[in-house]
Amino acid sequence: MEAENHTGLAQFLLLVLSENPELQSFLFGLFLIMYLVTVLGNLLIILAVSSDPHLHTPMYFFLSNLSLADICFTSTTVPKMLVNIQAQRKDISYTECLTQAYYCLIFVGIDVLLLTIMVYDRFAAICHPLNYIVIMSPRHCGLLVLISWFIVCSVSLIHILLLKQLTFSMGTEIPHFFCELAQLLKVATSDTLVNNIFMFVVAVVMGTISVTGILFSYSQIVSSLMKMSSVSKYKAFSTCGSHLCVVSLFYGTDLEVHLSSPLSHSAQQISIASVMYTVVTPMLNPFIYSLRNRDITGALRRLLSKTCSCP
């Protein structure tokens, strides 16, 4: 395999969620519907934000970027899984696998940073309302997103360049339904010490920054909410509540997968749990934000009414 490791001719075998042909047909239909709902729901959020001038604010700018990242994330993993289920195959080429791993790293990283930026935006709006326009100016918002993309793309590229130095056995089975970095390192036949150290350092740094930022911001937000009137408190809590639901869902499912013991959970159980943060969470995000937010629901109604009224 070492000679073929950099040629793109080698193949991996992905884990299927079920070997039962009848259940595979059900899974194909289920994941196809979930994928279409995810794409449609997040696309509607993007269209609503871009088409409604009332939503041209930092909070909804970040929300539309989160929706775009969720579309790209599910599009990186689910279509390949659907093709393999339909064709009753498990193979993925070496080049496809590394490409999938690269984009998965990017979009997961972007989700993490965007969720952190979004809570910082709420912190600035609630705790520093007089300076909010200056703190979260369009220039600063655009700069935050660009810096996030630059950091995540650079770190992901380093991960993949380190991964390309490893060797794998021909026909190695990856104990996952997509090419996740941690699972690829587990099946490598060469030394992965440098890869594991870099992955650990990145995870600790990004996780610490994100979790610390979120916890600090919410502690300050709660403190400020206690001093507000009931009406202002309800409106502020409504926008924060949606974000808190998404954060809890994302981090809860992600931690469940990556902190669960391989001894107590089989590869198939871990893959099924991974469906939560790779498929279910991106699908639920638009519903969480639209159902709990009158501005979004109003914009969606106006968008749909304009679409229906067009000849």
Instruction: Indicate the helix (H) or strand (E) that contains 20.
Output: none
**pLDDT for 196:** 94
- Taking alpha carbons only, the member of 254, 241, 255 closest to residue 280 is 254
Does any domain span residue 1? no
Report H helices in the chain: 21-51, 58-87, 94-127, 132-135, 138-163, 181-187, 193-225, 230-259, 267-275, 281-291, 294-309
Cα–Cα distance for residue pair 292/51, rounded to 1 Å? 20
Does any domain span residue 4? no
Does any domain span residue 2? no
Task: Give the domain extent around 154.
Answer: 11-309
Does any domain span residue 101? yes
What are the CA-CA distances from residue 46 to residues 61, 215, 232, 257 (Å)?
A: 9, 27, 27, 29
Cα–Cα distance for residue pair 234/4, rounded to 1 Å? 60
**pLDDT for 258:** 61
pTM of the model: 0.87
Does any domain span residue 113? yes
In a 13 Å sphere around the CA of 265, the CA atoms on its Cβ side amount to 17
pLDDT means per 10 residues, the chain with 311 residues, are 46 77 83 93 90 87 93 92 84 90 94 92 89 92 95 96 90 83 88 93 91 90 78 67 79 66 55 76 83 75 73 56
Q: Contact at 8 Å (CB) between 254 and 277?
A: yes
Cα–Cα distance for residue pair 120/218, rounded to 1 Å? 9
Does any domain span residue 169? yes
Does any domain span residue 145? yes
> Domain count of the chain?
1
The order of strands in the sheet holding 173-174 is 91-93, 11-14, 173-174
Residue 24 CB burial class (10 angstroms; 0-12, 13-18, ≥19): middle
Which CATH number do you get for residue 280?
Answer: 1.20.1070.10
Determine the distance from the C-alpha atom of residue 267 to the mean position of all C-alpha atoms in its chain, rounded to a whole number.
Answer: 21
**pLDDT for 264:** 47
Does any domain span residue 5? no
